[in-house]
């Protein structure tokens, strides 16, 4: 088969695949704008009379802004603490010190412990700390991720020793070097950190499900799941809510595709 | 390794331990302690409110006799052995196609990857509706193409519920696997293909003789990711079917969640968690060994 | 590199994203200002006969369209030009109808607002038809 023919075939197959992948999303967007196909059959394929009233309803029926802010605050805490803690740890791992092997072993073995196996003790812990139903309680288990520590470590290790020595001669303390020299050079590592932790924290469902007790403290995914049970079954508002929940992350993704994709690559094991 | 001169050593050491402290504390609290705590809890009977009594191995005995437990374990395995090979096979095909120097491959990459960052709860709601018996799009297509005569109750049927949920997960996770495989593909030098072409090898032969063997470790990475995924896919199942109908889509995690937070049987749930953890550990360790070391590895000990 | 130099480098690399975020923030601000300027909760309209003449003294009812609770409807009367006005409306989804004994009743029209207390003028007049 000639190169040209394979290219055409590849294009066709890929277009079909992308079509199949995008159809569910298109379907939801269409329904959130028109409310058709909820109860009628056969469904219509092109939107008729689009309107944004479902979105308005969602905004007023539930404390949407509050849920949104909860998600934002928790994600912000998670992302910031991740960058700080992981950079510090990744930097420290660049030195030789007593107990280094043990500590690395600890980190690696923590990678083997998926979050879902820790839910019961984590819940009890959060309860005893008095952090149930709080933003901090929601954020704390996610405040550091091992994979990101190693992302920082590999990035920092690539910085030439000469820079370190030069700064040393200038009298700069080592910890200051992290701030002044290593971090500014670690842009991709920071981006990876932000992306991985933001996605994990924004989409997190099981932890808020376990931890929150008041409606007012819910995060967006939890609010979405509960919407389903409050307002019974499908409705245009439900799908408008779906769009409102996934829009931020889709937008963030589309704006940063390259970093996103390469970042999620490094996070191969969801920590 | 950063060299440290003698005089600053103690100061640097202080900094190092201080820097390591926050993340270590988090992991100690939320990863290591839970393992031990789960173990201890599994030997007790605790209804959360009220005293906890030490009952030794009774939880495990009950677990072994519990049909729901075995069902949830079986479902988890089906989830993995059903979903992951399909996803990986598809991903390899797609990655090979996208790897071609065709125009717009970045756009394809983005579109294929798009489902992955979407909130799983939202994915579950979207697909729940697609699978809807009366007005779902999938039923509409099937009936229009005359593949079925009556509407198919995907999520309500004992037989079809689990495969349906697995398909949803494949939809979401495909892009992720594609990216992993793509990265693996890009490590294969082009001249291998060129010399094979010169030797008259067909593209199919090139695929099976060159591509597949060289991405073995990448595929193993996908398997490991898939295993961990299938043991931890809580969101989608909880929202789509909540383990139903009956326990047809109950997986270990949802079973644990229900026992702990709905039935308040902390001890029993902890026992199942211990089982799940040990099984996962075994599987990860074993597949790591098969693939000959760190699959996709970074040398951590440097 | 100086702070200024670093800032401009950042700006050049992320121009598209900065513009996008700025556009979103701007749109949000404009929307919020629009809402603030128009949220007195005033709903107005006009009642006409089938011939097109204004109806004075007709009773116009406005009731919220909700899922469960059936709330008390609000009622006002039209003036000489057939115009009516509701104030302090805190509903986003409601039904309006008008009637005047002896003249007729209008169909019940449903309207949906874009924000709470939106100042809204009925796009069409309520037409009284003879009860059959």
Write down the pLDDT at residue A267. Answer: 60
In chain C, domain spans: 3-37, 43-128
Given a contact cutoff of 8 angstroms between Cβ atoms, the answer to whether A206 and B257 are in contact is: yes
Tell me which chain A residue has its CA closest to the CA of residue B234.
A206
CA closest to A174 among chain B residues: B12
Question: What pLDDT, in 10s, does the model give residues B20-48?
Answer: 999 999 999 999 999 999 999 889 888 87
Q: Which range, of A68-72, A246-250, B103-107, B210-214, averages the lowest pLDDT?
A: B210-214
Give the integer Cα–Cα distance in Å for B125 and A27: 12
pLDDT for the residue numbered A70: 94
Give the count of beta carbons closer than 10 Å to the beta carbon of residue B37: 18
Task: Please answer yes or no on whether A57 and C93 come within 8 Å at the CB atom.
Answer: yes
Name the residue facing B30 among A86, A141, A174 (closest C-beta). A141
Is B24 a domain residue? no
CA distance B20 to chain A (A): 5
- In contact, B233 and B212? CB cutoff 8 Å: no
Q: Which domains does chain A have, with CATH numbers?
A: 27-266 (1.10.3720.10)
Q: Say if residue C25's pLDDT is above 90.
A: yes
Q: Which chains touch A (3 or more CB pairs under 8 A)?
A: B, C
Q: How far is A151 from chain B (nearest CA, A)?
A: 10
Cβ pair A56:C113 closer than 8 A: yes
Which stretch of A204-208, B66-70, C11-15, C68-72 has the lowest confidence by average pLDDT? C68-72
Is the Cβ pair A38, B1 closer than 8 Å?
no
pLDDT of residue A2: 67
Instruction: Give chain B's domain count.
Output: 1
Judged by a CB distance cut-off of 8 A, whether residue A146 touches chain B is: yes
Q: Which residues contact A239 (CB under 8 A, 6 or more apart)?
A: A28, A31, A32, A54, B125, B126, B129
CATH number at residue B121: 1.10.3720.10
Contact A56 C112 (CB under 8 A): yes
Domain that holds residue B100: 59-290
Pick from B122, B179, B239: which is nearest to A261 by CB? B179
Strands B52-54, B44-46: parallel, antiparallel or unpaired by DSSP? antiparallel
What does the pLDDT read at residue A137? 93
Which residues, other chains included, contact A62 with Cβ-Cβ below 8 Å and sequence gap of 6+? A223, A227, A241
Give the total residue count for chain C.
132
- Inspect the interface and report whether the beta carbons of A143 and B281 lie closer than 8 Å: no
Residue C109 is given by DSSP the state: E
Residue C8 makes CB contacts below 8 A (sequence gap 6+) with none
Q: Do chains B and C touch (3 or more CB pairs under 8 A)?
A: no
Question: CB under 8 Å to B82, separation ≥6 — which residues?
Answer: B162, B163, B166
**Taking CB atoms and an 8 Å limit, are A114 and B232 in contact across chains?**
yes
Let me know if residue B154 belongs to a domain: yes
- Judge whether C128 and C58 are in contact, CB under 8 Å: yes
Whether B295 is in a domain gets the answer no
Percent of chain B with pLDDT over 90: 31
> What's the gap in Å between the CA of C112 and the closest CA on chain A?
7
Average pLDDT of the residues in C67-73: 73
CA distances from B45 to A104, B58, B155, B231 (A): 35, 9, 35, 25
| Contacts for A26 with CB less than 8 Å, ≥ 6 apart | none
Q: Closest Cα of chain C to A255: distance in Å?
A: 7
Contact of C50 with C129, CB cutoff 8 Å: yes
pLDDT at residue C102 tops 70: yes
**Residue A79 near residue A144, CB atoms below 8 Å:** no
Angle A201-A206-A212 from CA coordinates, rounded to 5°:
90
Instruction: Sort out which chain C residues have CB atoms less than 8 A from A195's CB and list them.
Output: none
Kind and range of the H or E run holding C119:
none
* pLDDT < 70 positions in chain A: 1-2, 37-43, 232-234, 266-271
Best of A255, A256, A258, A260 to mutate (most C CBs within 10 Å, chain C) = A255
Mean pLDDT of B131-141: 84
CA of C20 vs chain A CAs: smallest distance (Å):
9
**C-contacting chains (≥3 CB pairs under 8 Å):** A
**Least confident residue range of A12-26, B129-143, B155-169, B257-271:** B129-143
Quick check: B256 and A84 CB within 8 A?
A: no
Substitution target in A12, A18, A116, A144 with the highest count of B β-carbons within 10 Å is A116
Q: Nearest 5 degrees, angle CA B38-CA B44-CA B47?
A: 95
Q: Which of residues 34-93 of C touch A (CB under 8 A)?
A: 67, 92-93
- CB proximity list for A66: less than 8 A, separation 6 or greater: A216
| Digit-coded pLDDT (tens) for C29-66 | 999 999 999 888 899 998 988 888 888 888 898 988 87
Is residue B2 situated within a structural domain? no
Check A60 against C112: CB less than 8 A apart: no
Q: Which residues in chain A are contacts of C17 at CB distance < 8 A? A: 255-256
Separation CA A269–CA B221 (nearest Å): 9
How far is C-alpha B289 from the chain's CA centre?
A: 19
Contacts of C32 in chain A (CB under 8 A): none
Q: Per-residue pLDDT tens for A131-181?
A: 999 999 999 999 998 888 988 998 898 888 888 888 888 888 888 888 888
Average pLDDT of chain A?
Answer: 87
DSSP output for A6-46: HHHHHHHHHHHHHHHHHHHHHHHHHHHHH-TTSS-SSPPSS
With beta carbons under 8 A apart, name residues in chain C contacting A57. Answer: 92-93
Topology adopted by domain C43-128: Immunoglobulin-like (2.60.40)
Contact residues for B235 (Cβ-Cβ < 8 A; gap 6+):
A203, A205, A206, A221, B120, B121, B124
Interface test with A, best of B3, B4, B16 (most A CBs within 10 A): B16
Is A162 an 8 Å CB contact of chain B? no
Which of B39-48, B76-85, B186-195 is predicted least confidently?
B186-195
Q: Does residue B299 have a pLDDT over 60? A: no
Is the Cβ of A113 closer than 8 Å to some Cβ of chain B? yes
Does residue A51 belong to the interface with chain B, where contact is any CB pair within 8 Å? no
Would you state the pLDDT for residue B297? 44
Mean pLDDT over all residues of chain C? 86
């Amino acid at each position: 088969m000639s190169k040209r023919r394979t290219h055409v075939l590849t294009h066709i197959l890929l277009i079909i695949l992308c079509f199949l992948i995008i159809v569910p999303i298109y379907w939801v967007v269409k329904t959130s704008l028109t409310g058709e196909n909820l109860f009628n059959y056969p469904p219509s394929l092109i939107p008729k009379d689009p309107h944004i009233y479902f979105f308005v309803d969602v905004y007023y029926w539930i404390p949407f802004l509050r849920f949104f802010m909860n998600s934002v605050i928790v994600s912000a805490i998670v992302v910031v603490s991740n960058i700080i803690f992981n950079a510090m740890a990744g930097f420290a791992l660049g030195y030789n010190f007593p107990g280094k092997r043990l500590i690395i072993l600890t980190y690696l073995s923590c990678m083997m412990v998926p979050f879902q196996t820790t839910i019961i003790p984590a819940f009890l812990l959060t309860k005893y700390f008095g952090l149930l139903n709080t933003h901090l309680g929601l954020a704390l288990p996610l405040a550091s991720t091992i994979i990101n520590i190693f992302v920082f470590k590999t990035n920092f290790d690539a910085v030439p020793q000469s820079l370190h020595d030069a700064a040393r001669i200038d009298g700069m303390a080592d910890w200051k070097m992290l701030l002044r020299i290593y971090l500014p050079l670690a842009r991709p590592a920071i981006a990876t950190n932000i992306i991985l932790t933001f996605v994990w924290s924004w989409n997190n469902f099981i932890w808020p499900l376990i931890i929150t007790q008041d409606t007012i403290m819910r995060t967006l995914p939890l609010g979405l799941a509960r919407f389903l049970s409050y307002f019974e079954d499908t409705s245009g508002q439900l799908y408008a809510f779906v769009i409102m929940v996934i829009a931020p992350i889709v937008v963030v993704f589309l704006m940063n595709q390259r970093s996103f994709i390469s970042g999620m690559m490094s996070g191969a094991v969801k920590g | 390794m950063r060299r440290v001169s003698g005089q600053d050593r103690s100061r640097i050491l202080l900094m190092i331990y201080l820097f390591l402290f926050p993340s270590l504390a988090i992991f100690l609290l939320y990863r290591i302690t839970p393992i031990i705590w789960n173990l201890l809890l599994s030997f007790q009977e605790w209804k959360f409110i009220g005293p906890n009594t030490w009952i030794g191995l009774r939880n495990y005995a009950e677990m072994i006799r519990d049909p729901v437990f075995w069902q949830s374990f079986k479902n988890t395995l089906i989830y993995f052995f059903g979903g992951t090979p399909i996803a990986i096979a598809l991903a390899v095909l797609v990655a090979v196609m996208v790897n071609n120097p065709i125009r717009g491959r970045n756009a394809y990459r983005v579109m294929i990857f798009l489902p992955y960052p979407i909130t799983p709860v939202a994915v579950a709601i979207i697909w729940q509706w697609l699978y809807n018996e009366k007005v779902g799009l999938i039923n509409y297509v099937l009936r229009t193409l005359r593949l079925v005569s009556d509407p198919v109750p995907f999520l309500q049927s004992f037989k079809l519920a689990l495969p349906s949920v697995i398909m949803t997960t494949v939809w979401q996770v495909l892009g992720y696997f594609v990216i992993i495989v793509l990265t693996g593909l890009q490590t294969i030098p082009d001249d291998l293909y060129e010399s094979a072409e010169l030797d008259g090898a067909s593209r199919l032969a090139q695929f099976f003789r060159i591509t597949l063997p060289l991405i073995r470790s990448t595929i193993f990475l996908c398997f490991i990711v898939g295993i961990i995924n299938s043991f931890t896919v809580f969101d989608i199942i909880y929202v789509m079917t909540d383990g139903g109908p009956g326990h047809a889509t109950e997986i270990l995690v949802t079973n644990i969640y229900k026992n702990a937070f709905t039935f308040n049987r902390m001890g029993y749930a902890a026992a199942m968690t211990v089982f799940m953890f040990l099984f996962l550990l075994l599987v990860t360790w074993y597949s790591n060994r098969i693939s000959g070391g760190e699959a996709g590895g970074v040398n951590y000990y440097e | 590199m100086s702070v200024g130099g670093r800032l401009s480098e950042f700006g050049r690399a992320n121009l598209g994203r900065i513009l996008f975020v700025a556009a979103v923030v701007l749109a949000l601000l404009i929307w919020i200002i629009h809402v603030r300027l128009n949220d007195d909760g005033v709903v107005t309209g006009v009642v006409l006969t089938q011939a097109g003449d204004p109806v004075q003294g007709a009773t116009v009812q406005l009731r919220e369209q909700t899922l469960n609770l059936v709330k008390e409807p609000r009622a006002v009367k039209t003036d000489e030009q057939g115009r009516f006005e509701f104030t302090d409306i805190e509903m986003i989804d409601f039904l309006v109808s008008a009637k005047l004994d002896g003249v007729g009743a209008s169909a019940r029209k449903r309207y949906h607002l874009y924000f709470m207390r939106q100042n809204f003028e009925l796009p069409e007049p309520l037409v009284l038809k003879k009860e059959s």
